[in-house]
Amino acid sequence: MLGSKNLGSMNRDLFVVGNWKMYKTAREAAAYLEELLPMVEGARPKIMLAVPYTSISSAAKAAKGTEVWIGAQNMSDAKEGAFTGEIAALMLKEAGASFVLLGHSERRHTFGETNELIHRKVIRALQDDLLPILCIGETASLREAGHAEQVLREQLKKGLEGVPEESQFFVAYEPVWAIGTGKTATPKMAQDAHAFCRDCLEEIFGKKKAAQVPLLYGGSVKSDNVAELVKQKDIDGVLVGGASLEPTHFAAIVNHCKKEKS
């Protein structure tokens, strides 16, 4: 197994997760890490990078011996089989992935992934020992129509149905209207949504587990807004898309991400 790390017990802490989307070849991934690592040495947050499938091995190799965790952005719900073009959790693990983003808004809205499919992927990731980060979020029109909470509750309940309480998973709240648009939720809006998600987790798993699940905020996070976001009581870190692509921008986010709670 190439550089795959066991994330062990990942209760609430402070996390900065980068999502490279469909950017960076294997060679570019290695060069990125070579540049990033000295800039984030000794940084407080745990750093995780969700990279393209073909860059997992080289990123994991470049991150070996560091506290940077490499993961994937999607996977199949099947263990293996005649599914041309799909990729299995076990393949990702062997390549060096420790975690996987599931239900990212681009998967839901561009590729038509449903809550049911995402739920099966969550279960598969847990069974095959990859930490799932379940991404949820409402569109602008659903928020304007007053349905944001209903959407979040449904995505959480369906996505996490039957998940054993002792399982390790993260939830990322990413309002669709804030992803890649430059529009960030205000810290208060983000905190309100996170508090609501934690209440939903309490309905599903009970108080103790709900208080332990790391909840990340995603949507146009930059070095100048990260500190205010992670100061909020229920925000345990951030999921960063566009601003994770440049090592200097991503390092600035990591280094501005401080845990002082308001």
The site for ligand PEP (CB under 6 A) is made up of 19, 174, 179-180, 218-221, 239-243
Q: Provide the minimum distance between the beta carbon of 131 and ligand PEP in the complex, in angstroms, as a whole number.
A: 16
In this structure, what token pair is assigned to residue 47? 């750093």
- Looking at the Cβ atoms of 237 and 242, the one nearer to ligand PEP is 242
Q: Provide the minimum distance between the beta carbon of 239 and ligand PEP in the complex, in angstroms, as a whole number.
A: 5
Q: Which of 212, 233, 236, 192 is nearest to 48 (CA)?
A: 236
Give bridge partners of residue 49 from the DSSP assignment. 18, 70
| Helix (H/G/I), strand (E/B), else coil: 109 | helix
- Looking at the Cβ atoms of 50 and 89, the one nearer to ligand PEP is 50
As a whole number of Å, the end-to-end CA separation of the chain is: 42
Does residue 119 carry a catalytic annotation? no
- Looking at the Cβ atoms of 9 and 110, the one nearer to ligand PEP is 110
- Looking at the Cβ atoms of 3 and 219, the one nearer to ligand PEP is 219
- Looking at the Cβ atoms of 15 and 205, the one nearer to ligand PEP is 15
Q: Provide the minimum distance between the beta carbon of 49 and ligand PEP in the complex, in angstroms, as a whole number.
A: 12
Which residue out of 41, 104, 119, 260 is catalytically annotated?
104
Backbone angles phi, psi at 17, to 5 degrees: -110, 125
Which residue out of 106, 113, 138, 174 is catalytically annotated?
174
Q: Provide the minimum distance between the beta carbon of 17 and ligand PEP in the complex, in angstroms, as a whole number.
A: 8
Helix and strand element counts for the chain (H, E): 11, 8
Any alpha helices (H) in the chain, and if so which ranges?
26-39, 56-63, 89-95, 105-110, 115-127, 140-144, 148-159, 187-205, 207-210, 226-230, 247-256
Q: Which residue's CB comes closest to ligand PEP?
A: 241
Rounded Cα gap, residues 43 and 247, in angstroms: 14
- Looking at the Cβ atoms of 83 and 111, the one nearer to ligand PEP is 111
In this structure, what token pair is assigned to residue 117? 């499919």
| 120 HSE (CA, 13 A, CB side) | 10
Rounded Cα gap, residues 173 and 69, in angstroms: 20
Q: Provide the minimum distance between the beta carbon of 229 and ligand PEP in the complex, in angstroms, as a whole number.
A: 12
Rounded Cα gap, residues 216 and 173, in angstroms: 6
Q: Provide the minimum distance between the beta carbon of 150 and ligand PEP in the complex, in angstroms, as a whole number.
A: 22
**How is residue 229 annotated by DSSP?**
H
The residues assigned a catalytic role are 104, 174
